[in-house]
Structure 1
Amino acid sequence: MEHPEPDTRTLERGLGEYVRAVAAAVGVPAESTTVEISDTATAYLGLPRRWLDRPDHDVMLVWSERRGWSLAVETDPADDPVVIARHADDLVPSPSAVAQFVADAVAGHHPGQDSPGPATAATRTSLAEKLRPYLHDPR
């Protein structure tokens, strides 16, 4: 039996709750996060730190449904961020795993830096299933 694609609102709610859980685990207030569902689902967490190699630029944690989590340094608005590390193991790792990934990268360990991200892209249905545990009303 094929499941219908989840509606954008449900997917955005699930991703929003997941990102809030990640933010809490990383120690970032929910106000420092954004979630967007368009042709690609994405999330952003502004981290309250600078990178030693680029002390004038903020560090951010970004997520996309195609690549999973990446730690990056913000650059000029016209330029792409500089990726420091990628969490390559899972598209929706536990919030504690994301927090450990950030701590390791900040400590100078760059896990998955050269990795393109998770090996398989999730369908919106499978992504919604992975995010379901973060919904307060999982219906």
Structure 2
Amino acid sequence: MELDFDDAVGRGLRGYVRLVTEELGLTGECSYVQADGPATAYLALDGRLPGFPDRDVALLWDEAHGWSAAVETHSGEDVIVQAYFGQELLPPPGAVARWVRGLFRGERVPRPRPGSSRHRDLRLDLAPYAAAGLVPAPRG
């Protein structure tokens, strides 16, 4: 039996996002993963970014740019990206959590928006995380 590409990407991405969620100490209740092209993820974060005391914060991931941090708008428009993690598409979950904590402390390491011309095999890149995507996320 051969696995469907979207299923393999979905399992891997869910597992990867779950590990990032755990590193951040979140439950994952306010998150979603979309594996069918283009692959994306959304995590609602607790807290506020300096300079945006009245705006919710989200951590976003997409297959072209990797991780970014954004503030929500009040009008239901698109989020406003404040920072990109950098060139790594799938950095270790602990590194993502450290980067997010730094953003909340006001650390702004200038990082250029990553290029979108990557040619990657997401199924292979996400395969190590697939098992974590099969286990129900802890509640609490």
Question: Shared topology, TM-score over 0.5?
Answer: yes
Partner of 2:118: 121
Give the count of matched residue pairs: 131
- Structure 1 CA distance, aligned partners of 2:108 and 2:55? 18
Displacement of 1:120 in angstroms is 4.2
The answer to whether structure 1 residue 136 and structure 2 residue 131 are counterparts is yes
Bigger proportion of residues as strand = 1
Displacement of 1:77 in angstroms is 5.0
- Give ranges in structure 1 of 5+ residues lacking alignment: none
Deviates more, 1:36-45 or 1:13-22: 36-45
Displacement of 1:52 in angstroms is 3.4
Task: Tell me the C-alpha RMSD between the 2 structures.
Answer: 2.3
Cα offsets for 1:45-79 (capped at 9, x unmatched): 10011233222211110000011000110113542
Partner of 1:30: 28
- Structure 2 CA distance, aligned partners of 1:35 and 1:80? 17
- Structure 2 CA distance, aligned partners of 1:43 and 1:59? 14
Read off the aligned partner of 2:80 and give its amino acid letter: V
SS at match of 1:55: coil
Cα offsets for 1:14-48 (capped at 9, x unmatched): 10010000000011112222101233100011001
Partner of 1:76: 74
Deviates more, 1:44-53 or 1:88-97: 44-53
Between 1 and 2, higher relative CO (CA 8 Å, sep ≥ 6) is seen in 2
The answer to whether structure 1 residue 102 and structure 2 residue 100 are counterparts is yes
Cα offsets for 1:61-98 (capped at 9, x unmatched): 00000110001101135422121211013000000010
- Give ranges in structure 2 of 5+ residues lacking alignment: 133-140
